[in-house]
């Protein structure tokens, strides 16, 4: 995980992976991280809460942004359609990722769901 100090603030590159492959984050959602400096970082996305743990990645993950000729971000497909050579800029790298699992909220663990079902049947 890379980090740079800027005054009293730290900029940290984070790769996030969800234990549940059906979990995703919309580009318009606001992310609120906490406890990044602990073994169990937390993430809040709207009313969903996640708790995670760090894992080392094999090699280094690199993150790039693509920029068009006028400096605006464009997708590689848009650049190809306009016959431009894509230009990429390294925006971050990390050797760790955070694996997140959902906690609380609408979803319950299978054992808790079974207990609730048993309680309803009695």
| Cα-Cα end-to-end distance for the chain | 51
Residue 102 main-chain phi, psi, to 5 deg: -75, 135
- We find that the CATH architecture of domain 3-121 is Sandwich (2.60)
Measuring CA to CA, which residue among 6, 15, 7, 8 is closest to residue 91? Answer: 15
Instruction: Sheet containing 48-67: give its strands across.
Output: 16-18, 87-103, 48-67, 42-45, 31-34
Question: What phi-psi label fits residue 118: left (phi over 0), alpha (psi between -120 and 50 degrees) or beta?
Answer: alpha
Query: For position 64, what pLDDT does the model report?
Result: 86
Q: Is the pLDDT of residue 77 over 70?
A: no
How does pLDDT run across 12-27, given as a tens digit for each residue?
A: 666 788 888 888 888 8
Separation between Cα atoms, residue 40 and residue 54, nearest integer Å: 8
Q: How sure is the predictor about 1, in pLDDT bands with cuts at 50, 70 and 90?
A: very low
Query: For position 106, what pLDDT does the model report?
Result: 52
User: In this predicted model, which residue has the larger pLDDT, 42 or 91?
Assistant: 42
Average pLDDT over residues 77-103: 78
Separation between Cα atoms, residue 46 and residue 31, nearest integer Å: 8
Per the DSSP assignment, residues forming a β-bridge with 53 are 99
Query: For position 40, what pLDDT does the model report?
Result: 94
Query: For position 79, what pLDDT does the model report?
Result: 57
The average confidence (pLDDT) of the chain is 73
């Amino acid at each position: 995980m890379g980090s740079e100090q800027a005054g009293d603030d730290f900029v940290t590159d984070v790769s996030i992976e969800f234990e549940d492959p059906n979990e995703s984050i919309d580009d318009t959602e606001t992310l609120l991280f906490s406890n990044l400096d602990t073994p169990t970082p937390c993430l809040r996305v709207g009313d969903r809460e996640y708790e995670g743990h760090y894992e080392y990645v094999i090699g280094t993950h690199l993150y790039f942004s693509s920029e068009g000729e006028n400096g605006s971000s464009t997708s590689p497909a848009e650049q190809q359609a306009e016959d431009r050579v894509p230009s990429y800029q390294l925006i971050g790298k990390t050797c760790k990722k955070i694996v997140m699992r959902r906690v609380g909220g609408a979803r319950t663990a299978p054992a808790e769901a079974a207990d609730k079902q048993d309680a309803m049947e009695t």
